[in-house]
Structure 1
Amino acid sequence: MQRRNFMKVLGGGVILAAGAGAGFAMTRTPSRALAPWQRAGGSTYADPRMRALSYAILAPNPHNRQPWQVELQGEDTVVLTVDLDRLLPHTDPFSRQITIGLGCFLELMVMAAAQTGHRVEIEPFPQGADSERLTTAPVAIARFVQDPGIRPDPLFAHVMARRSNKEPFDTARAVPDAALAAIVASARHGGRLGGTNDAAEVASWRTLTETALQIEIDTPHTYKESVDLFRIGKAEVNANPDGIDFSGPMFETLALFGQFNRELALDRTSAGFKQGVDAVLENTRTAMAHVWMVTDGNSRADQIAAGADWLRANLAATSQGIGFQPLSQALQEFPEMAELYRDVHARLAPNGGTVQMLVRLGYGPGVPVSPRWPLEAKLREA
């Protein structure tokens, strides 16, 4: 395959270029780290594929790894591949979660294309798929077709407001039945969404998600995989705007005085480690509802479809003003999580199928939303 006009996630605070060999030299100063959110879909993009891709790079994905690479072929085609350097071999050994993230990317691209009157025909894994690992083979081939009859998706209106809310939720505010129903009804691609705001069930899921997080933290190789991806303070976020961000005044101050860094995060005897773990676990204890997704199968195509529906559920929650944070640690396939993995599947898929995602819902206490930092995305000649 000729790799002309190749767009690869590289790193930095830059969004998609408007044409081959060109790119926006966005500032790396902290105050403009969110420029890709502000510029997505701007008038710079004459090519509808580029406009759609400028939204697609804002899609949710595990550990914010942003593993997508695209190649533009001809006048109407996008070839999506995965950057194998951005996998999560310890917490996501079969790249199931990464593939779900790629499904989110494709769905957001499709939704953005509809805004300019284009239908996107997607062929997933045209060269076949390996259930054990991802390869350099195409994840999908997408063809843009002008279609005057296509209708924009109402959920697209909430793309720029969508975030993963990693703050404690307001435990005095329940998630209404109608809002929960709207989220569960958002799937369109075969994912079976379920949810609960029943107090007793929520309490049970709070305990399970906290236990799963604790297992991931207590397992050295899975915890270190996350710590290696910590981005502490705005300087690190700007240098490598992927991974798990710890930005804002508190973390800037802690880092400045040497009270929070990756070395301390790995030191289980340090006060910083204990405080950090407490803060992470506190989020699970403030869930006011939970939503999950089950698919009939667990093929790569099933995972892509799950990602498409998971993006829709996230946007539906945003449309309801509800905070949304995935807490899918219990679904990870490393050996130390096996018992909880079986427990979740027995509860949510007793008749078969695969539980793909689990999330906590609630109302945030104001504006505390953790932004995603989109990586640099450039077009370059082969």
Structure 2
Amino acid sequence: MKKAVKKSVSLVLISLSALVLLIVGILFYISGVLQKPAYLEPWNTTYAAQFGDPRIRLAAHGLLAASGHNMQPWRIALSGSEPMSLYLYADSSRMSKEADPLARQMMISQGTFLDYIDVAGQKLGYAVGLDLFPMGQYNEQTLAQSMDTYPVAKLTLRKRPPQDTPLYDDLFLPDTNRMAYSPVPLTRQQIEQLEAVSDDSGVSIRIVQDKANLDKLGHYAMQGAAIEAAAASVAKESEDIFRANEREKNQYRYGFSVEGQGTTGFMKHIMQGLVTLFPSMNSGKAAEDRLIQSVQTAVDSTPAYALILTKDNSRDSQVRSGIVYSRLILEAHQLGLAMQPLSQVLEEYLQMQEPYRAIHREYAPGGGTIQMLVRLGQPIKEAPLSMRREVTELLIPADAK
């Protein structure tokens, strides 16, 4: 009798194990585990070398820069009459109209692209001359049309001997790490080195790590996350650019994915399979709770915050703050540090007005603008790479301008 019971239990366990393996296999298949992650190819250090035109090679490095909501809102125009110049345009079709209605974050993203090109130029042997808004400023009343008409910047390349800049290798590291950070505070030397990144009199960096400021800024970060999570139109905008599986990531190559929520390895494919089968897991109340929890986890493991401030909120200042932000990322990598934006509280839609004004009263009392709020510290785990498009997708056809 006992042998029969043991045999029955063993059969049940074997059946359950087989069922679990079957379910895992199905989820992995739905996730797209067998698909090649083409969306990661631009991160390869040899990717840019396939292009003969130095302007495209440099743009391939710019493509790796951080951008709001990973929208990669960049377009580049190459002129046959100016073989050593390229024009950077903001891609109006990639505006985040709900979360970023004034396109401030989009302009910061233009600056991040420009700084990565500058660093790549040093390594590849080009001095990069920068001229912001060379054809005039935007008409704010017809913003999208202005973006299509007026370039953010003209870059002029001049050949020179390559420079062995230590920042070049950091271009190929993830710009954002949403994992937990060590509680170890930054040293005074690290703070001074990072705050010195900004040599522009109109842009400054302030790093804080005392308990009073950690508590205040953590509270603002949570306020912003709660408001964004509850704003249906903003949440829907994020939901629309979420890529649930490998097929979608290869098809779109921008936006959000489960890696951005801190899920990697084996669990990445489990989650991708589940979200593909049950899209409601990434929408509505589930998405709201996940955002709040992720920000809470980040706040709880933040030893320091950095604020990037400008004296005004002009388009030039927004772009320049993006240049400083990119350089701050690269310098942080040099020090073994990681960063993550927690800038929801700085967004400029109606529901965010009260905390936006409050944080500015406290941290920019002279009438300036806080362009970025980021957490900063020693990462406990490495962050995954995020999706990137082919650089050729950024090219504006010659007959389109």
1:36 aligns with 2:57: no
Counterparts of 2:271 and 2:291, CA distance in 1: 12
**Matched-pair contact (CA < 8 Å) for 1:115–1:152:** yes
What corresponds to 1:228 in structure 2? Answer: 240
1:267 aligns with 2:280: no
Query: Superposition pairs for residues 270-285 of structure 1, below 5 Å?
Result: 270=286, 274-275=289-290, 277-285=292-300
Query: Superposition pairs for residues 245-256 of structure 1, below 5 Å?
Result: 245-247=257-259, 248=264, 249-256=266-273
Q: Flag structure 1 segments of 5+ consecutive residues without an equivalent.
A: 1-27
Query: Superposition pairs for residues 164-313 of structure 1, below 5 Å?
Result: 164-171=176-183, 173-189=184-200, 190-247=202-259, 248=264, 249-257=266-274, 262-268=279-285, 270=286, 274-275=289-290, 277-313=292-328
Query: Superposition pairs for residues 14-53 of structure 1, below 5 Å?
Result: 29-39=35-45, 42-53=48-59
> How far did residue 168 of structure 1 move?
2.3
Q: Deviations over 1:189-217 (max 9, x none)?
A: 34100011112321221121111111111
Counterparts of 1:43 and 1:265, CA distance in 2: 38
What corresponds to 1:18 in structure 2? Answer: none
Query: Superposition pairs for residues 75-224 of structure 1, below 5 Å?
Result: 75-130=83-138, 132=140, 133-134=143-144, 135-136=147-148, 137-148=150-161, 153-171=165-183, 173-189=184-200, 190-224=202-236
> For 1:34, what is the secondary structure of its paired residue?
helix
> How far did residue 30 of structure 1 move?
3.6
* Structure 1 outlier segments of 4+, above 6 Å: none
> For 2:176, what is the secondary structure of its paired residue?
coil
1:351 aligns with 2:370: no
**Matched-pair contact (CA < 8 Å) for 1:264–1:273:** no
Deviates more, 1:161-170 or 1:312-321: 161-170
Q: Deviations over 1:313-333 (max 9, x none)?
A: 111111111120011111111
> How far did residue 231 of structure 1 move?
1.6
> For 2:246, what is the secondary structure of its paired residue?
helix
Q: 1:77 is matched by which residue type in structure 2?
A: S
Q: 1:115 is matched by which residue type in structure 2?
A: K
Counterparts of 2:158 and 2:38, CA distance in 1: 35
What corresponds to 1:376 in structure 2? Answer: 390
Bigger radius of gyration: 2
Q: Deviations over 1:238-266 (max 9, x none)?
A: 22111112143324213424587543332
> For 1:119, what is the secondary structure of its paired residue?
strand
Deviates more, 1:317-326 or 1:233-242: 233-242
Counterparts of 1:43 and 1:311, CA distance in 2: 22
**Matched-pair contact (CA < 8 Å) for 1:169–1:362:** yes
Q: Deviations over 1:334-367 (max 9, x none)?
A: 1111111111111221112111111001222232
The partner residue of 1:339 within 354, 368, 376 is: 354
Counterparts of 1:280 and 1:126, CA distance in 2: 39
**TM-score for both structures, normalised by structure 1:** 0.84
Counterparts of 2:49 and 2:151, CA distance in 1: 29
> For 1:244, what is the secondary structure of its paired residue?
coil
Aligned sequence identity (%)? 27
Change in Cα spacing, 1:167 to 1:232, as seen in structure 2 (3 Å) is farther
Counterparts of 1:377 and 1:255, CA distance in 2: 26
> For 2:128, what is the secondary structure of its paired residue?
strand
Deviates more, 1:259-268 or 1:125-134: 259-268
**TM-score for both structures, normalised by structure 2:** 0.81
> For 1:360, what is the secondary structure of its paired residue?
strand
**Matched-pair contact (CA < 8 Å) for 1:210–1:285:** no
> For 1:168, what is the secondary structure of its paired residue?
coil
**Matched-pair contact (CA < 8 Å) for 1:168–1:364:** yes
Q: Flag structure 2 segments of 5+ consecutive residues without an equivalent.
A: 1-33
Counterparts of 2:133 and 2:98, CA distance in 1: 24
**Matched-pair contact (CA < 8 Å) for 1:79–1:140:** yes
> For 1:94, what is the secondary structure of its paired residue?
coil
Counterparts of 2:189 and 2:127, CA distance in 1: 31
1:360 aligns with 2:375: yes
How many residue pairs get aligned? The number is 350
Change in Cα spacing, 1:152 to 1:349, as seen in structure 2 (3 Å) is farther
> How far did residue 178 of structure 1 move?
2.3
Counterparts of 2:106 and 2:275, CA distance in 1: 33
Higher strand share: 1
Change in Cα spacing, 1:151 to 1:296, as seen in structure 2 (3 Å) is farther
**Matched-pair contact (CA < 8 Å) for 2:304–2:377:** yes
Change in Cα spacing, 1:276 to 1:339, as seen in structure 2 (3 Å) is closer
**Matched-pair contact (CA < 8 Å) for 1:166–1:370:** no
Change in Cα spacing, 1:274 to 1:302, as seen in structure 2 (3 Å) is closer
> For 1:193, what is the secondary structure of its paired residue?
strand
Higher helix share: 2
Counterparts of 2:324 and 2:122, CA distance in 1: 17
**Matched-pair contact (CA < 8 Å) for 1:232–1:255:** yes
